[in-house]
Chains A and B, each alone.
Chain A
Amino acid sequence: GQSLEQPSEVTAVEGAIVQINCTYQTSGFYGLSWYQQHDGGAPTFLSYNALDGLEETGRFSSFLSRSDSYGYLLLQELQMKDSASYFCALEGGYQKVTFGTGTKLQVIP
């Protein structure tokens, strides 16, 4: 099976940079995705790494290292609206996705 671990909570200051880590155990996967979910809302896609390295999408960047079984999401220029839960997720083929435990990010003024 697959398992993904994330810190349960992170607090950061508005305007700062925050990194949310994800470590995983799997026998194989195609890529690592990141999703944002506000309370009561649907998960929304942020980023996807099919290959090792950094992917940048506006204020969000995601990194993957297959050799270290590790990835992270980097959020820059934090805004209050970034307060949400963030999930890393492994794509195991045919778009079957296993989600991590989730990190609740609180942005404070």
Chain B
Amino acid sequence: ETGVTQSPTHLIKTRGQQVTLRCSSQSGHNTVSWYQQALGQGPQFIFQYYREEENGRGNFPPRFSGLQFPNYSSELNVNALELDDSALYLCASSLRDGVYTGELFFGEGSRLTVL
């Protein structure tokens, strides 16, 4: 177990609705990255938060937004849900200050289904 927890584990929404996903990073980590993983594909980088600031975004529209809190936990918000947003949303935590070992610590993910 990585110590990264995500909630909820599963949820179902309808098109046009909004969703908030939550992530508690591993103790001591200051960086949270969010990934979208469609069925049968690799995780796609959405964005990263470092010390409460967005620090890089992948090829995702502005309706994907996020927050990082002083305790380094994070939220991913998706507005105006579309059917293609159905996916596993993964949170990964890491420590950016120091020697990078190549390891991201992933949570179990939130499975979103949009109907």
Contacts and interface: CB of A to CB of B under 8 A. Distances in A.
Contacts of B45: 96-99
A7 interface: no
Interface string B38-64: 001111110010100001100000000
B94 interface: yes
A95 B107 contact: no
Nearest to B106: A42
Q: How large is the interface on A (under 10, 10 to 19, 20 to 34, 35 or more residues)?
A: 20 to 34
Q: How large is the interface on B (under 10, 10 to 19, 20 to 34, 35 or more residues)?
A: 20 to 34
B108 interface: yes
Interface in A72-109: 87, 89, 91, 94-102
B17 to A, nearest CB: 24
Contacts of B101: 48
A48 B105 CA distance: 14
A43 interface: yes
Interface of B: 2, 4, 31, 33, 35, 40-45, 48, 50, 55-56, 90, 92, 94, 96, 100-109
Cβ-closest 9 pairs across A and B: A48-B102, A99-B42, A42-B106, A45-B103, A33-B102, A99-B43, A102-B42, A42-B108, A43-B106
